[in-house]
A = this chain, B = another copy of it.
Amino acid sequence: MTVLPQTFSALGNATRFAIVERLLSEGELPAGAFLDMNDTSPPAMSRHFKVLREAGIVEQRIDKQRRIYSVRPQAVQQICEWSISYRKFWETSLDRLALALAEDD
C-alpha cells in the first residue's frame, strides 16, 4: 500500500527527527547548519540527510558549494492523512475513555 513505514523509519531517529523539526520551523537550510547538533560529524550528518532524501522526506537544492535542504510537504501531508483516516477510531476511543474517567467521580 504505502511507503509510510519507510517514512516512519526515517523519522524514528532522534537526530533526523530534530533535523526535520528544525527545517519545518525555520524553512530551508544548508546541511552545514546542523553541525552544531548532538552527534554529528559531517559524514554522519550527510548520511542522515541521505536517509531523509531516500525516504522522500526532504529534498535537496544545490547552491554553489552548498546543499540546501527543505521538507517535502507531501511527506508531512501523508502522515497527516494516515492518522486522519483512523480519526473516527481514536476520537471515539478517547471520548469513551474521558467519559469513563468522569464517571469515577
Chain A residues near B (Cβ < 8 Å): 4-14, 17, 24, 71, 73-74, 76-77, 79-80, 82-84, 86-87, 89-91, 93-94, 97
Contacts and interface: CB of A to CB of B under 8 A. Distances in A.
B14 A5 contact: yes
B80 A76 contact: no
Q: How many copies does the complex hold?
A: 2
Nearest to A84: B80
Contact of A8 (B17, B74, B86, B97): B17
A13 to B, nearest CB: 6
Given A24-B89, A73-B93, A11 B5 contact: yes
Contacts of A13: 5, 9
